Amino acid sequence: MKPILQVSGLTKRYGPGCPECLRRTGALHETNQCPHCRSIIACREITFDLFPGEVLGIVGESGSGKSTVVRLLHFDDEPTQGEFRIKLNGSAGAACNPDPGRNLFALGAFERRQIRNAHMGIVYQNARMGLRLKVSAGGNIAERLLMAGWRHVGQMRQRAAELLIATEVPVLRIDEPPQHFSGGMQQRVQIAKALSTRPAVLLLDEVTTGLDVSVQARVLDLIRSLQQETGVATIVVSHDLGVIRLLTSRTIVMRHGCIVEQGLSDQILEDPQHPYTQLLVNSML
Amino acid sequence: MLRVENIQKHFISHVLNGKEVVGFRSVSFKVLPGMALGLSGPSGCGKSSILKCIYRTYLTGMGKIIYNSQTFGTVDLAVLPENEILALRRKEIGYVSQFLSVVPRQPAAEVVAAPLVEEGVSRAVALQRARGLLDRLNIGARLHAAYPATFSGGEKQRVNLSRAIIRPPRLLLLDEPTASLDAASMQVVLDLLLEIKARGTTIIAIFHDQAIMDRLMDDIYTMPVKES
Ligand SMILES: Nc1ncnc2c1ncn2[C@@H]1O[C@H](COP(=O)(O)OP(=O)(O)OP(=O)(O)O)[C@@H](O)[C@H]1O
Ligand SMILES: Nc1ncnc2c1ncn2[C@@H]1O[C@H](COP(=O)(O)OP(=O)(O)OP(=O)(O)O)[C@@H](O)[C@H]1O
Ligand SMILES: [Mg+2]
Ligand SMILES: [Mg+2]
Ligand SMILES: [Zn+2]
**Partner residue facing A278 (CB), from B15, B56, B87:** B15
Domain boundary among B150, B168, B186: B168
Instruction: In whole angstroms, give the CA distance from residue A226 to residue A164.
Output: 12
Boundaries of every domain in chain A? 5-284
Statement to judge: residues B50 and B113 lie in one domain? no
Instruction: Name the domain boundary from B168, B187, B213.
Output: B168
We report the CATH number of the domain holding residue B9 as 3.40.50.300
Claim to verify: residue B149 and residue B124 sit in the same structural domain = yes
Residues of A in contact with B15 (CB under 8 A): 275, 278-279, 282
Q: Does domain A5-284 have CATH number 3.40.50.300?
A: yes
Report the SS3 class of residue B118: helix
Same domain, yes or no, for B18 and B84?
yes
Do B36 and B138 share a domain, yes or no? no
Stretch (H or E) spanning A285: none
Co-location of B211 and B141 in the same domain? no
Same domain? B160 vs B206: no
Closest CA–CA distance from residue A53 to any residue of chain B (Å): 11
pLDDT in tens, A238-270: 999 999 999 999 999 999 999 999 999 999 999
pLDDT computed for residue B179 by the predictor: 84
* Top mutation candidate among A66, A209, A236, A237 for ligand 1, by most atoms within 8 Å of CB: A66
Looking at chain B, the whole-number percentage of residues with pLDDT higher than 90 is: 77
Mean of the per-residue pLDDT values of chain A: 93
Q: Where are the beta strands (DSSP E) in A2-119?
A: 5-14, 40-50, 55-60, 81-86
Give pLDDT tens digits for A65-103: 999 999 999 999 999 999 999 998 765 545 577 788 899
A46-69 confidence digits (pLDDT tens)? 999 999 999 999 999 999 999 999
Residue A19 — pLDDT band, cuts 50, 70, 90? very high
Choosing from B168, B194, B213, the residue where a domain stops is: B168
Would the pLDDT of B164 be above 70? Answer: yes
Nearest to B103 among A54, A224, A271 (CB): A224
Residues B182 and B84 in one domain: yes
**Ligand 1 binding pocket, CB closer than 6 Å:** A 14, 32, 40, 42, 60, 62-68, 239
Around Cβ A108, how many Cβ atoms within 10 Å?
8
Are B160 and B55 in a shared domain? no
Q: What is the predicted pLDDT for the residue at A90?
A: 64
What is the identity of the amino acid at B140? G
Are B151 and B184 within one domain?
no
Give the separation between CA A223 and CA A204, rounded to whole angstroms. 10
Task: Report d(CA A197, CA A120) in Å as an integer.
Answer: 9
Q: Summarize pLDDT for B113-125 with one digit per residue, the tens.
A: 999 998 889 999 9
Place B18 in a pLDDT band, splitting at 50, 70 and 90: confident
CA dihedral of residues A50, A56, A59, A62 (deg, nearest 10): 70
Query: Torsions phi, psi of A189, nearest 5?
Result: -65, -40
The rounded Å distance from CA B41 to ligand 4 centre is 10
From the alpha carbon of B9, which atom of ligand 2 is closest?
12
Report the C-alpha gap between A142 and A146 in whole angstroms: 6
- Per the structure, the count of domains in chain B is 2
Instruction: Measure the CA–CA gap between A74 and A58, rounded to whole angstroms.
Output: 15
Q: What's chain B's average pLDDT? A: 93
B55 and B105 share one domain: no
Phi-psi region of A217 (alpha: psi -120 to 50; beta: other; left: phi over 0): alpha
Residue B83 contacts A where some CB pair is shorter than 8 Å: yes
C-beta separation of B19 from B25 below 8 A: no
With CA atoms as reference, the chain A residue closest to B54 would be A267
Residue B104 at interface with chain A, using a CB cutoff of 8 Å:
yes
Residues B54 and B158 in one domain: no
pLDDT band at B105 (very low <50, low <70, confident <90, very high): confident
- Give the domain extent around B136: 99-168
